[in-house]
A and B are shown apart, each in its own frame.
Chain A
Amino acid sequence: MIDELIGILERENVEWEIYWEKGRGGSFRIERERLERSQRKFHSGIGLRVGYNGKLGFSYITGLNHERKTLEEFVKRTVKLARVSEVPFSGFPTPSRVPRVDGLYDGRIDEIPFEEAHSLAGEFAAKMRELKDDSLTLSGSIALAVSNYGIANSNGIFFEGRGTGMSVSAYAVKRGERTGSGSYYQAYRSLQPVEELENAIKRSIEEAELSYRARKAEPYSGEILLEPEAFRAILGIFLENLFGDGVYYGRSRFSKPGENVAPEGLEVIDDATIPAGVGSFPFDGEGNPGERTVLVEDGVIRSFLLDETYARFLNMESTGNAVRDFRTMPHIGTSNVVVGAGRDNLEEFEGVVVKKVFGEHTANPVSGDFSLTVELGYIIKDGDVIPFRDNMLVGNAFGFLRTLNAIGRKVYRKGSFYSPRVLGIAKLV
């Protein structure tokens, strides 16, 4: 059917691009240690962009089985949108070599019978019942997904790909005279064994125990060690300023690379080519190759995140960061974000540590100001761990990056984010 659609498009005097997708997913939700909600969903569809006379039209159609008449109407409708549209069209990419990225597809996820996945979720629930005590309530979820997708355009791009994914989450609430809660989340490209599910439960329980003991800490200003999940929130505020559309439209702090934003040791990379990376892809949503793009090196901004459109508007080269599904036009997004390992040993750090924060969407990406609630932190003093929570972690994202004075050697992964622990100056209120 894709060939038929291409045939119809080639008869029109327009530039065109189609993106198609066919996928399914199974997910399982466990509440109070019982498997309560299971689902299996299917989706498929095609997104079509048409360039005509310097203007762009976009629309989509769901499903991949259509009669010729429906396809012809789909094309006609999109061409008409391009004729009335005032969205500027700057051209589609031309073909280039795409990298081979291993480990994005696991046949075991594609082929697992639903009953087996269901029974894996059942084992997850049984593990929870085994690991819990009376003070704990446990919940969690498992999700498995398979996707086949492709992109083709009138410049000769034609790529197809496939990928699988699995995610696991666990959540623990501990109740007694007080309350504590803990959570764990991880995503993968391959099917995970029961041991990983058990690990998720144990980690969420450990965190709930710590949270149960936590109280509000005294206000503090000075060196604070951020664990990767907390650092992600603050780095995210900064990263919003590197999106090419924000730069082009004057919403970013920065207008060109080269600005010094942090001490020499800080390196931030967007890398779509990490084998088995959950954010990896060989080609992006427009058919540009997935790339390893150095965003910050030696504390200096080296590149923005760009798709084809904004790269052309800004007179730069695409970094292969167009993300999309068939319902949406491509837009700029990150693949895997990697903060490079530093030279410092922060594993045995003593002092104030912030592990998790929430509320980062209330931060102001243009001023950089943030005040986030500390979900969990702890102070390490003479080997003792004194947990705290409910304080606010306050600062400015740009200011915080400048004060980074140690970056850990060991890099941790949380989904598509890779980072060591970092040490900088901030305030606890």
Chain B
Amino acid sequence: MEDLLRTAEELAGRYGILYYEIRVTRVTASHLTMQNGQLEELGVNTEVGIGVRAFNGAWGFSSANDMSRARDAIETAMKIAKLSKGDSRIYLGDPVRDRAEIRPKRSFLDVDIEDKLALVKEIDSLLRGDGISNRSVYYGDGLKESFYFNSLGSEIETVVPRLRLSFSVTARGNGEMQSYWKSFGGTAGWELVERMDLSRWTSFVREKAISLLHAQSPPSGEFDIIIDPELTGVFIHEALGHAVEADSVKNGDSILAGKLGERIAVEGLTVVDDPTLPGKFGSYVYDDEGIKAKRVEIIKNGVLVNYLTDRETSALLGLEPNGHGRAQGYSYQPLVRMSNTYVEPGDWSFEEMVEEVKNGLYMIGDKGGEVDTANGTFTFGAKEGYIIENGEIKAQVRDVALSGGILDVLKNIRAIGNDLRIEFPGYCGKGQWVPVDDGGPHVLTRALVGGLR
């Protein structure tokens, strides 16, 4: 490493580079996939690589997965920056020297691959049942050791473990096919697996898939909807989160540009993005620009109070950098990203909320979403739902997507539950994939439901 530090300094002098930062990472990972009792993949791999960014009013970037090319990567990034001279500014700040490790109770590196295979097999057998045509189980873990340094003199070593487990079934019957799934994950070790109630969640997934075979498609049109904590998570991620990523604000691509300090939601709504939550899937200690991760209140009592920023957008918008520059890996440039995004709880009980609804839907579970931040239209999928009539929960309905406008839906929130849960790990795609978590309490709002009826 000493050599790399010296090489970078020497080359920066030669090319007249104002600022550079270098990440060297080693990821040790294993993954297993099984379908219908048949193992499809079992992999154990370690990968080392280097990513270099150099700034000269615009960015130059280079990476290599062959460490014998490390010097070339540094020189290439700097040459590009020299060639690219621009007039952007970035936040620099003071150098940081730190070593931070997220320590699991029991490292998955100490667990034999045979035990991981035994886990996958156990889940597979628990998923067996009449009417189930497909059982899928995925297990993956990875320890990321990263060394970050920059031209300011920052030297940061981080060690972050991440584990994810998910399983799904497809049921067939009644002339239909339906599937259901559940995921677990966190910045944690094998203890996450040991804590899981596998028999409860496997039966849950199986029963849901089978009951959906008999569920009708929901009606279509605009309805009052209660969304469960999992769906609240994807809703707030899509409807708000992407539009407050400051790079979209910078590029004229966010409907929330210029709205800091404005009331954009009902008074009771507070939304937070917090990478420092212990053990969550989207957690980290430092972002990929060497900035310490910070809890950010995005909306406070209905008022937009902050964007998520990186070194570049914080300088441009005159905001504090809050450690949201994240990259998929060493070969990617950091972008502004979310971490663990959630709605703070209110004081409604779920029962009170249901009583409020005359004619609406209770929608459950995250099937992903997407947003057009420029126009403020978003969509998100629910795994299942129930009709609500005159304050009572009635028939089950199938999976469906819902859609709305950011500014409408945030103002149409009528009740925020008291039952916060942030335990819905997933990956967010924005040209790069990063691990995130999200959640919230039950929320009552209004949205467009795309049912077949």
Please list the residues of chain A having a beta carbon within 8 angstroms of any beta carbon in chain B.
Answer: 31-32, 34-45, 57-60, 62-65, 81, 84-88, 114-115, 118, 137, 139, 171, 173, 175, 179-181, 211, 219, 245, 249-251, 253, 327, 329, 358-359, 361-364, 366-367, 369-373, 375, 389-390, 392-396, 427, 429
Contacts and interface: CB of A to CB of B under 8 A. Distances in A.
Contact of B134 (A86, A115, A250): A250
Given A36-B88, A118-B83, A253 B374 contact: no
Nearest to A364: B399
A42 B69 contact: yes
B74 interface: no
Interface string B333-347: 100000000000000
Contacts of B450: 371-372, 392-394, 429
A175 B252 CA distance: 9
Nearest to A180: B375
Interface of B: 35-36, 38-45, 47-49, 58-69, 72-73, 76-77, 79-80, 83-84, 86, 88, 113-114, 117, 133-134, 136, 170, 172, 176-179, 217, 220-221, 247, 250-253, 255, 331, 333, 367-370, 372, 374-381, 398-403, 405, 448-452
A177 to B, nearest CB: 13
A181 B59 contact: no
Contacts of B170: 250-251, 366
3 tightest A-B CB contacts, nearest first: A371-B450, A362-B381, A137-B252
Contacts of B398: 364, 367, 369
B22 to A, nearest CB: 14
B68 A63 contact: yes
A73 to B, nearest CB: 12
| Secondary structure type dominating chain A contacts | strand
A356 to B, nearest CB: 10
Contacts of A41: 61-64, 331
A389 B375 contact: yes
B59 A38 contact: yes
Nearest to A359: B379
Given A41-B331, A369-B398, A36 B452 contact: no
A44 B66 contact: yes
A38 B117 contact: no
A392 B221 CA distance: 9
Nearest to B221: A429
Given A31-B251, A179-B374, A42 B64 contact: yes
B249 to A, nearest CB: 11
Given A39-B80, A84-B114, A429-B220, A390 B375 contact: yes
Most chain B beta-carbon contacts within 10 A, residue among A44, A359, A366, A427: A359
A42 B73 contact: yes
Contact of B401 (A139, A175, A371): A371
A87 B42 contact: yes
Contacts of B368: 361-362
Contacts of B377: 373, 375, 389-390
Contact of A249 (B35, B66, B451): B35
Contacts of A180: 374-375
Given A37-B59, A118-B84, A369-B399, A173 B379 contact: no
B43 A59 contact: yes
Given A358-B370, A369-B217, A392 B401 contact: yes
A373 B250 CA distance: 25
B260 to A, nearest CB: 17
Given A84-B114, A173-B374, 10 more contacts: A39-B63, A41-B64, A42-B65, A173-B253, A175-B252, A179-B375, A327-B47, A364-B179, A369-B398, A394-B451
A62 B401 contact: no
B332 to A, nearest CB: 9
A81 B44 contact: yes
B116 to A, nearest CB: 11
A362 B401 contact: yes
Given A63-B65, A362-B367, A371-B451, A37 B58 contact: yes
B452 A250 contact: no
A32 B177 contact: no
A112 to B, nearest CB: 14
Contacts of A371: 220, 379, 400-403, 449-451
A249 B169 CA distance: 11
B119 to A, nearest CB: 13
A238 to B, nearest CB: 13
B8 to A, nearest CB: 17
A87 B405 contact: no
A64 B247 CA distance: 37
A5 to B, nearest CB: 16
A386 B45 CA distance: 55
28 contacts: A31-B251, A34-B58, A34-B88, A35-B58, A38-B60, A39-B63, A41-B61, A44-B65, A58-B43, A62-B65, A86-B117, A87-B39, A114-B83, A115-B83, A139-B251, A173-B252, A179-B255, A245-B40, A329-B43, A359-B381, A367-B399, A369-B398, A369-B400, A371-B401, A373-B377, A373-B378, A392-B403, A392-B450
Most chain B beta-carbon contacts within 10 A, residue among A36, A57, A371: A371
Contacts of A373: 370, 372, 377-379, 401, 403
Given A59-B43, A81-B44, A180-B375, A363 B220 contact: no
Nearest to A326: B65
Contacts of A427: 220, 452
B252 A86 contact: no
Most chain B beta-carbon contacts within 10 A, residue among A39, A84, A249, A392: A39
A35 B87 CA distance: 10
A171 B375 CA distance: 13
